[in-house]
Amino acid sequence: MILLGILIALFICVFLFDYVRGINLKQKCTSQTTGTITEVRKNSSRSSHSYYATIQYRIGGQVISFVSRCSYRDKTGDRVTVHYNPENVNERYAFDNPYGVAKLKERFLILLFVTPVWIFMAKRQNQKENDP
């Protein structure tokens, strides 16, 4: 049962860390420009697909590229708004997603569905240990 509590606490800490990092990024990224998707890559596992776009944008003659999670609907050549920090153009996000919302949703859903299973298994194990 202690292990369960530690795992849940750790999971919540990671969740909150990502969320706070996203808030900080959104506060810093006060400028915006238009970028172009130069590539869309699909990562697949047995049960899900994730899409990642390579986005290229230009600030003051400097061409910058980065990879961001995107939708299956985003295509190479699409133009997207890039929010960036004018003091550090390498701090940026696109798709109005500084928090990695898809990632946060996935983690929350995992926590939501896995926690009851962990609790059930812990109670069952405890019951077995206490039965004569």
Per-residue model confidence as pLDDT tens digits over 39-63: 999 988 887 888 899 999 999 889 9
* pLDDT of amino acid 97: 62
pTM: 0.66
Under 8 Å between Cβ of 13 and 36:
no
Cα–Cα distance for residue pair 68/84, rounded to 1 Å = 13
Band of residue 103 on the pLDDT scale cut at 50, 70, 90: low
Instruction: Over range 88-104, report the average pLDDT.
Output: 72
pLDDT value of position 105: 65
Q: How far apart are CA 52 and CA 123, in angstroms?
A: 40
pLDDT band at residue 80, thresholds of 50, 70 and 90? very high
**Residue 71 confidence (pLDDT) above 60:** yes
Q: What ranges do the domains of the chain cover?
A: 1-29+98-132, 30-96
